Structure 1
């Protein structure tokens, strides 16, 4: 007994020490949302004023350092992964001014979308649309082209009427359609390559609730009626389940009616989380996924239907994902939607015994715009998001690359905050204003202070000394 005690004590001690050591090591590193990119900046700045931001950038420019601007880190790509200095806007937040009469709000760059919504609600205002996740900072959301859904609504950057931005040399500019127009067009979806967006003025609308109606229909019927469905409501999105070929159609319209929960709302949320974990387990057994998904949809009714009235945050935002996963998303011309979805189904059919297609495909619709690096530049756009829980990165990338290849054939442009594979030479042919963007970027950051592996790879740049 005495001889066993030291052994048992050692095991117990290791069981306590090892997790603590791992926690200590992980606490010295930062992760993006999915956890794919782990990084440890050489220095972290959390400025609380424009003067501090300008000073940091002037110092980096003089010393030949690089700076990466970081918001909430809600990106799947390495766009916000620093390899030198990290400039966080975490402490530069808050509402600067609300102009109720003109329906405008000015906020600091580190303010999250949710914080903006809550702040302006007291003045009877709302943002016209929101993405699926509202924990993102306003600067990060507009820099990456974040969007919601609704064919009459552009991405979030189209709501911006003016910005304040600090260049790589620490110079503060104010830009809008009427002032420093080239900086304005470049910085709106500037990928963190143009400057630090310190203030944003956004167009608002009178406060509203949303009446949401959710129905199910077969995929082929949905594709045949696509135009009618997309134009039937203010905001429409589709969730496609591959194995059952069922589409969950979300329609929502603005209303002044009071909140009214769906009778199945709580049950659905419970099912969603059970479904999510079941999907994760199935990622290890791809051949069983079809049966499990069929049972989930047809027996347990995990794709809900019904109607409710809720606030924009309640309706636009999706339930919180517990299991982190990779995502790839492409925006294609709206008239290519049906063809690309059929090609995606064919790819999944071909690979279904190799990879577990255990998650929905999200399809959203966005109005075209004139922002230079916007995936929706010059055309109404359908954004198709593919994701999967899969233990094999090799298979996941094989699937993503096949879908990306199909999307590119239809003129697809990647979502900047998600995974993609194209090089600068491939992308510049799909962005008519690529050269104009690069010229303004060079003016705003001649010493290439705003640089990390993502930007160097994307723009084929070397760091200037």
Structure 2
């Protein structure tokens, strides 16, 4: 397959019983993540369709992991033993207008929930660039959208239902459980199986987005805060060449009676005259509507339409979070590596995320800039470049995205999480014998 493309799922595939244990589908094809770069270590995958069923499976096996929509690029969700799929548990349980919350089963994706909420007159505060990811999986790995005032997706979590290693059902809430809740929300799959998530909601809203091309890097250096604050959600795409940002995507709230004529120039960048893909040479047909066309929040906040999903095509992803106060220095540090990076890169994206108070979040107590890399699927080459990037970002104590590729030494990674020891104590309470621990957790949280 050539460069990253986005294809519409057929109704046949969506209806197929893909997650049945030891099905013929698995006999024909090894279980992999969506990008195809990672092959899971077992095909023992058991489908759960209720809390009771999940409890039974957890009690039955000594070692188990929950496998979601498989959007991670590393082995954070891997198991050598047994998988449980909760994908059939994908219903809205309740919507509470008074509390402004919605409670859903953990197998639900944002793409499923968003249209439901909008029809009821509600919305979420933000979405990631892809709406196809599961809510539970996104929150437990601190996945994010963009916006200087927008926390990552887990900041919307008001309560969680988790099944622990003993099969006990635990409910934790922001209102009642304090530090335990703050430790558990970004739980990295270490505490147990999340079966329900309660999210904050707000009145629905409309948005529009404009794209500008070729923003000079000098302008970003001199006006960084103004540029990233120019919309509700702003994304900067670059290939690190020619001292410029290739594209600036500005997603803005639509006010009543608001029909502004966009500026033809934005800090030296020119207003796009057609819809664009983040990778300029690719068709924008699968991208969300641009050119200032108004639309509901869930059709503007992601970069890609909900009716489309990434193929199992060839790409890798890495991402590093640095304090926003160091954003310009960090960007310029990476830009110095342009000739090492660009030959292996499809595109990079720069996004801002507000601070949160979750112990294992890369944005813990610091407003952040996320520097994202979408790589060509050549792991030997990427593996050589990542240590260079990590070295350049070391002065800023960069934290990698938990679900993407990095090469930081475990001791270095651990040193960047002040609440790690407390988190491991919390894990011990929920999973004293390491039923949910896998190689990823053993190395990165417990390894020397």
Scaled by the length of structure 2, the TM-score of the pair is: 0.83
Moved more, 308-317 or 381-390: 308-317
Structure 2 spans left out of the alignment, 5+ residues: 1-23, 262-270
2:407 corresponds to? 421
Contact 2:30/2:43, CA 8 A, preserved across alignment: no
- Give CA-to-partner distance per residue, 1:398-454, whole Å, 9 cap, x none: 112211222232111010010112243222211111011000000100111102221
Say which structure is richer in helix. Answer: 1
- Give CA-to-partner distance per residue, 1:156-185, whole Å, 9 cap, x none: 111011111111111111111233434322
Displacement of 1:361 after TM fit?
1.3
Contact 2:357/2:364, CA 8 A, preserved across alignment: yes
User: For residues 287-302 of structure 1, what are the structure 2 equivalents within 5 Å?
Assistant: none
Displacement of 1:25 after TM fit?
7.2
Report whether the alignment pairs 1:253 with 2:252: yes
The structure 2 residue matched to 1:268, chosen from 269, 275, 291, is 275
Judging changes above 3 Å, is the alpha-carbon distance between structure 1 residues 209 and 111 closer, same or farther for their aligned structure 2 residues? same
2:367 corresponds to? 380
2:178 corresponds to? 181
Task: Look up the SS of the partner of 2:333 in the other structure.
Answer: helix
1:398 corresponds to? 384
Displacement of 1:225 after TM fit?
0.6
Judging changes above 3 Å, is the alpha-carbon distance between structure 1 residues 268 and 167 closer, same or farther for their aligned structure 2 residues? same
1:451 corresponds to? 437
CA distance in 1, matches of 2:219, 2:279: 28
2:295 corresponds to? 310
Judging changes above 3 Å, is the alpha-carbon distance between structure 1 residues 171 and 182 closer, same or farther for their aligned structure 2 residues? farther
1:155 corresponds to? 152
Task: Look up the SS of the partner of 2:183 in the other structure.
Answer: helix
Q: Aligned-pair RMSD on alpha carbons?
A: 2.9
Moved more, 364-373 or 381-390: 381-390
Task: Look up the SS of the partner of 1:31 in the other structure.
Answer: coil
Displacement of 1:43 after TM fit?
2.5
User: For residues 7-156 of structure 1, what are the structure 2 equivalents within 5 Å?
Assistant: 27-39=28-40, 41=42, 43-60=44-61, 65-156=62-153
1:230 corresponds to? 228
Task: Look up the SS of the partner of 2:292 in the other structure.
Answer: strand
Judging changes above 3 Å, is the alpha-carbon distance between structure 1 residues 144 and 220 closer, same or farther for their aligned structure 2 residues? same
Q: How many residues align?
A: 405
- Give CA-to-partner distance per residue, 1:369-404, whole Å, 9 cap, x none: 1100000001100000022225x4322111122112
Contact 1:208/1:255, CA 8 A, preserved across alignment: yes
Displacement of 1:345 after TM fit?
1.3
CA distance in 1, matches of 2:85, 2:322: 33
Displacement of 1:137 after TM fit?
0.9
Bigger Rg, structure 1 or 2: 1
Scaled by the length of structure 1, the TM-score of the pair is: 0.81
